[in-house]
Every structure is written in structure tokens, then in C-alpha cells.
Amino acid sequence: MARGVPFDQARDRAVAALESRDRRLAHELAAGVLRRRAELDRTLDLSRADPRLHDVLRLGAYQLRWLDRVPAHAAVSTSVELARETAGEAASGYVNQALRRLGESPPGVAERAAVPTHPEWLLRRWTEQFGPQETEGLAEWNDSHPPLTVQAARWDQPALAKHFVEAGLAVEPAPWDAGLHIRRAAPEETLAPPQFPGFDAGGFIVQDASAQLVCRFAAIPPGAHCYDACAAPGGKSVTLERLGARVVAGDIRRDRLVRLRENLGRAGVAIRMLCADLLFAPFPNGSWDAVVVDAPCTATGTMARHPDARWRITPDAIERAATRQRLLLRAAAQLVRRGGTLVYATCSLEPEENEAIVEDFLTHERSFGRAPVADAVPRRLLLTPAGDLQTLPHRDRMDGAFAARLERVR
């Protein structure tokens, strides 16, 4: 997290060589420390500790306070060894003393629950937006272990479900039939999609139900030429193609194109790729039937799956994201033909990145208007009063997402 690498990527690189049991423990420790960082830091008084020992102390304290399956002596001794390797013999003594003192006074349930698991500025923001009860539900969802969701690709959904169950996976439909929720039959086991039946054959892609609903909401007409302008890692491109659009997938970052190529190839879709900055897209104005802008954002709707995100973002980051999002949406608009579709989407919960971007755009671009398609998604729960799509994690059991469907009317 400190180096700017997303949690899941950093975690998977670090534990790839471990045995399955050790990998499961590493997953739990990494995510747990991030979720409970505020409580751990307050307990440890890290202001007096060598910065090199902060994560060592957090790991040890998390095991002592939250993991019953790790004996206290093992948690302490492992942390002492890590401290010795990290900062020398004196550091190991400091860690040993700090953790043993902590282990002698375990907290009660009420004490642990009293410490927020999110930055207080973020909880205040959400309380103003959603109210205290909804904010409490959102924080609880972010601290949970959400199900993995997959979408059918080369295989159909009934075949996927059958093979998964035969492999010992617990399977249930995602809300609104937006994919399959996958859990291990044994809760302590972690999920590794490359080991699932059909992965190598391209039978499925890993994609949250919210992303599937964004693609349905987009309602790109079959056969329409669609530019997915911020496409990596490619899940929405695959889904848009399966729903009938003829997709070209672009992304500004060459390193992300590698994963995009892998995912498109495995899913077996006829999608061309290019490396391009949407602000300087190599297409004539008005040349596309549809453009989808899945804009880079603060991703506050995905904190259950990315527990590091709650500590990475700042109010300034929201403002910076919104500045770029406005530019991207205006650039995308130039590419849409008259009568064509422009879809703006994020996985953020913040109004500055969502409806405020759309309202600002529509104020300055009078040639566009909102154009949601009736019954494209369940209207009763998922659409805002303005007709945009919004999913809320604790309400809908999926990532938080926003999308606006616009049309060039002249």
C-alpha cells in the first residue's frame, strides 16, 4: 500500500510461492491488518516505535487480538524474528516486550468495536450523504469477506455452476442474476480462480455483479460499434461484447494492456485493443455509435475487496479524480455520433465523482441528455431519481457503482 501497489496485486505476488495453508493465513493477516489498522495503531502507540517496525507490530497485534487459531506465543515469536531481520537485535527486544504486554490485557468485544475501522473523515462524509444507519451498514460490509463473483464467458452459467459444485465450491446466483457468487464449502479456505474448473478454457471471468449491471444499464444496441475507452482489465469489454456490441478496447497504460490481452484472449472474444489516452484518442469526432468511460476513480465502492483503499484515499484525492473525470467525459463526448450513446461509470460512492460530474457535463454540453433504457436494470432499487444507476454495497451485496447513460441528441 505504501508503494502505491493495489492490495490484491501486492498480496498475490508476495504469497505466490507459499503452500495453500500458509497462503490462506497470509491473506487473512494482510486484509485483517488493513481493516483493523486504526484499532491496532491506537493500541500500540506507534509514535514511539521505529517506523520500520510498524507493520511488524501490527501483524503481531492483529494475531493476538483477532485470530484465535494462532497461539499467542507463536504470534509473539514470529514477530520478534521479523523485527530482528528488519531492524536488528534491539528492535526484536522492543517488539517482544510490546506484544507480551499487549497479550496480557486482551480487549473485550465492546472495546474492540468502539474503534472505527475507517478514517473518521470518511465516516463523517458518508454519514452526511447516507445517514448514520446506512453508514454503519456500509462499514460493516467493508469489514466483511464478500463473496467472489464470476460471469460466464465461453461456458454458460448452468455449466459453470455444475462444474464448480463438483469441485467442492459453494455456488449461488448473484443478486439480480448478475453472475454467480462463489464461496469455499469450508469457510477457512481462500478462493483461487486460476484453480477453478474452466479457468484455462476461458469458461468464466472474475467480475463483480455491479460491473455486469453497468453493462446491462449501458444497453448498447446489438451490432453497435463501441469504444471502451478505459478498458483494462477487460471485464466490461467482455460483457459488452457478449451482450452484442462490437467492441474496441483501449487503455492509456501499456502495463495494463498485458492483463487486458490475457483476459480477452482467455474469454475468446473478438475485441481489438489499442494503447491510447482518451484525451488524445486517435479517432475522428463523431465516429462511434457508443463510447464507455469507466473512469479512474477513488474506488470507495470496492473497500470490502480492497481494504487498503480506505487508508489510501484523501479528500484531495477525490478532488483530483473529479478533475480528470470531467476531462475524460468531455473528450469521450466528441467521439460519439448524433444519436449515439455515451456511458460514464465509476466504482466510487462519492457524489463529486458521480452525479456532480454528469450534471456539470450536461450543463456545458447541451447536445447530450440522459437516456436510460426502461427495464435495462431493476428500476425499483438501482436507479437514482435522475435515472442513473447506483449500487450500494451493504444494500445490494455487491460493489458500489455508478453509471449514467447519455445520448447525443443533436
Among the ranges given (80-89, 126-135, 300-309, 323-332), the one the predictor scored with the smallest mean pLDDT = 80-89
DSSP 383: B
For residue 80, CA distances in Å to 77, 92, 336, 375 come to 5, 5, 60, 59
Looking at per-residue pLDDT, the higher value among 217 and 80 belongs to 217
Can you tell me whether residue 1 is helix, strand or coil?
Answer: coil
Residue type, 129: Q
pLDDT score recorded for residue 360: 98
Kindly report the pTM of this predicted structure: 0.85
Which of 14-23, 101-110, 126-135, 175-184 has the largest mean confidence? 126-135
Cell of 223: 451490432
- As a whole number, the mean pLDDT across the chain is 89
Residues 6+ positions from 154 with CB-CB distance below 8 Å: 198, 201, 202, 203, 267, 268
Binned at pLDDT 50, 70 and 90, residue 95 comes out as confident
Among the ranges given (60-74, 170-184, 364-378, 393-407), the one the predictor scored with the smallest mean pLDDT = 60-74
Residues 6+ positions from 227 with CB-CB distance below 8 Å: 247, 248, 250, 281, 283, 288, 290, 291, 292, 335
pLDDT score recorded for residue 341: 98
Instruction: Answer whether 7-113 and 209-408 agree in fold.
Output: no
- What would the pLDDT profile of 10-53 be if each residue is shown by its tens digit? 555 655 555 666 667 777 888 888 888 888 888 887 878 888 99
Give bridge partners of residue 405 from the DSSP assignment: 343
Question: 148-206 has which CATH code?
Answer: 3.30.70
Cell of 163: 462444474
Give bridge partners of residue 278 from the DSSP assignment: none
Please report, for the chain, the start and end positions of each structural domain, with discontinuous segments joined by +. Answer: 7-113, 148-206, 209-408
pLDDT at residue 369 is higher than 70: yes
CATH 3.40.50.150 for domain 209-408, yes or no, is yes
Binned at pLDDT 50, 70 and 90, residue 242 comes out as very high
Query: How far is it, in rounded angstroms, from Cα 226 to Cα 215?
Result: 12
Looking at per-residue pLDDT, the higher value among 17 and 109 belongs to 17
Please, what sign has the CA dihedral across residues 180, 186, 191, 193?
Answer: negative
pLDDT score recorded for residue 116: 81
Residue type, 280: F
Mean pLDDT of 305-331: 95
Question: What string of DSSP letters covers 145-181?
Answer: -PPEEEEESSS-HHHHHHHHHHTTEEEEEPGGG-SEE
Looking at per-residue pLDDT, the higher value among 229 and 379 belongs to 229
Query: How far is it, in rounded angstroms, from Cα 249 to Cα 253?
Result: 12
The region, left, alpha or beta by phi > 0 then psi within -120 to 50, assigned to residue 225 is beta
Q: Is-contact 263 238, C-beta < 8 A?
A: yes
pLDDT at residue 54 is higher than 70: yes
Q: Which residues are catalytic?
A: 347
pLDDT score recorded for residue 21: 65
pLDDT score recorded for residue 154: 95
Give bridge partners of residue 152 from the DSSP assignment: 204
pLDDT at residue 67 is higher than 50: yes
Give bridge partners of residue 274 from the DSSP assignment: 250
User: For residue 381, what is the enclosing H or E element?
Assistant: helix 379-382
pLDDT at residue 225 is higher than 90: yes
Query: How far is it, in rounded angstroms, from Cα 376 to Cα 366?
Result: 25
Q: Is-contact 141 307, C-beta < 8 A?
A: no
Burial of 115 (0-12, 13-18, 19+ CB in 10 A): middle
Cell of 193: 480462480
Question: 7-113 has which CATH code?
Answer: 1.10.940.10
pLDDT at residue 221 is higher than 90: yes
Query: How far is it, in rounded angstroms, from Cα 218 to Cα 401?
Result: 13
Looking at per-residue pLDDT, the higher value among 284 and 27 belongs to 284
Q: How far is CA 303 from the centre of its chain?
A: 6
